[in-house]
Amino acid sequence: MLAKKPPKTLQQAIVYFADPDMALATMIRLRWPDGVIKCPTCGSQKVAFIRSRMVWECAEKHAKRQFSVKVGTIMEDSPIKLDKWLTAMWLIANAKNGISSYELARSIGVTQKSAWFMLHRIRLAMQGEDGGRLGGYVEVDETYIGGKARFMSGERKRRLSAKRPFGGKVPVMGLLQRAPEGGVSQVKTVVIAAHKRLKKAAMQSLVRERVDSGSTVNTDALKSYIGLDREYIHKVIDHAEAYAQGTVHTNGLENYWSLLKRMLHGTYVSVEPFHLFRYLDEQAFRFNMRKLSDFARFALTAGNVFGKRLTFNALTGNDLPQSC
Ligand SMILES: [Zn+2]
C-alpha cells in the first residue's frame, strides 16, 4: 500500500486529493473534527455510509435522508467533484497574486464559468477569517482602485479628485497593525461606501470599528482624520513634506497597496466595483496568513466551508490519514 502524507506542495495536494478516499477523509476531518458523522437535517448519529455513491443515509424518517459531505456548504449544489474543489481551494489559498477563473479552468479542467463560480464561493470561505480588532501601532491610509486597478499616490490623487471626484474609482481604506515582537503585521481593508467618502465622521467610525482605543494610529495629513486623537495617540505624517519621520509613517500600507495592485492588475485585470471587496478580502487573507504553511492556509479555507474553528492538528494535517 502506498503511504500518503498530508500534502505540503501543490503537486502533492493534487495527488492526495485525486484519491476519492483521501479527499473525503480530508473533508470529514474538517467538518466533523471528532470523527462522529451527524445527519445535517436532524443531527442523528445513526447514519450509514453508502460507498458506491460516497453519501450517508440517516436512519431517521425525514426528507433528504441521504447526504454528502458537501450538503450545507458552498459546494452543495455543485456537480464538481471534491478533488477539484479541494485543489481549487489549495490554489486560491496559496497563489500569491491570486488566480483568475481562466487559469483555474485550465488547471483543473472545468469551464471558465464554473471556475468563476468556484472562486467566488471559495472567497466567501476566506472572508470568515477576520482576525478580530487591531491594536498597538496601526497605520491607516486610503487608496483608489479603478476598473483597471490603477493606483495613484496621495498628492496626485488629491489634485485629480478636486477636479473630478474619484474619477470613477473606488476609495478603499487600509488599516495595518505593525508586527508585534515575534509576530507578523496584519491588514484589514474596507471599501468606503459612496455616501461616506471622505466624510470625517464616517471615515473615523471605520477606524473606531476596527482599532482598539488607546492604540497609536499613524495617518497622513488628510482632514478626515483630524479628531482621532480623542481616542488614539494620533501621529500624522504630511506626505507633502516627508514619507517618514522616525516611526511615523504609513510605509507598511504603501507596501501592501503595491502587493494588492500586482494582484488586481496582473491576475484579475478588471474587477467590478461591486465585487471588489471579495478580492480585497482574498488578498488580506493570504497576507495575514503568510507565515503559515500552504497546508494550513488551505485547511483554514476548507475549514471555513463548514464554519469550523480549526485545531492545531487540523492546521498541520497531523490528524489526516497518513496512508491508505
Ligand atoms: Zn437525519
> How far apart are the CA of 64 and the centre of ligand 1, in A?
8
Q: Summarize the confidence of residues 46-60 as an average pLDDT.
A: 94
> How far apart are the CA of 36 and the centre of ligand 1, in A?
14
Tens of pLDDT, residue by residue over 274-287, are 788 888 999 999 99
Whether 121 and 75 have beta carbons less than 8 Å apart is answered as yes
Residues 6+ apart with CB under 8 A from 263: 96, 97, 98, 279, 283
> How far apart are the CA of 56 and the centre of ligand 1, in A?
10
Side-chain-facing half-sphere of 219: CA atoms under 13 Å = 24
Whether 219 and 234 have beta carbons less than 8 Å apart is answered as yes
pLDDT of residue 311: 63
- Which residues are found with C-beta within 5 Å of the ion, ligand 1? 39, 41-42, 44, 58, 60
Bridge partners (DSSP) listed for residue 3? 323
- How many whole angstroms from its chain centre is CA 220? 27
Per the model's pLDDT, the better-predicted residue between 125 and 197 turns out to be 125
Using 50, 70 and 90 to split pLDDT, how confident is the model at 324? Answer: very low
Name the one residue in this structure whose C-alpha cell is 497563489: 95
321: DSSP letter = -
> How far apart are the CA of 59 and the centre of ligand 1, in A?
7
> How far apart are the CA of 47 and the centre of ligand 1, in A?
8
Tens of pLDDT, residue by residue over 228-271, are 999 999 999 998 888 888 999 999 999 999 999 888 888 877 77
> How far apart are the CA of 89 and the centre of ligand 1, in A?
29
pLDDT of residue 128: 62
> How far apart are the CA of 61 and the centre of ligand 1, in A?
7
Using 50, 70 and 90 to split pLDDT, how confident is the model at 2? Answer: very low
pLDDT of residue 267: 81
> How far apart are the CA of 38 and the centre of ligand 1, in A?
8
Closest residue by Cα to residue 148 from 32, 265, 38, 308: 265
pLDDT of residue 314: 67
> How far apart are the CA of 187 and the centre of ligand 1, in A?
42
Helix (H, G, I), strand (E, B) or coil at 62: coil
The DSSP result for 176-195, as a single string, is EEPPPTTS--EEEEEE--GG
Using 50, 70 and 90 to split pLDDT, how confident is the model at 1? Answer: very low
pLDDT of residue 203 exceeding 50, the answer is yes
Angle, to 10 degrees, between the axis of helix 112-127 and the axis of helix 294-304?
90
Which H or E run includes 144?
strand 137-145
Q: What is the pTM of this model?
A: 0.84
pLDDT of residue 150: 46
First vs last Cα of the chain: how many Å apart?
7
> How far apart are the CA of 52 and the centre of ligand 1, in A?
20
264: DSSP letter = I
pLDDT of residue 298 exceeding 80, the answer is yes
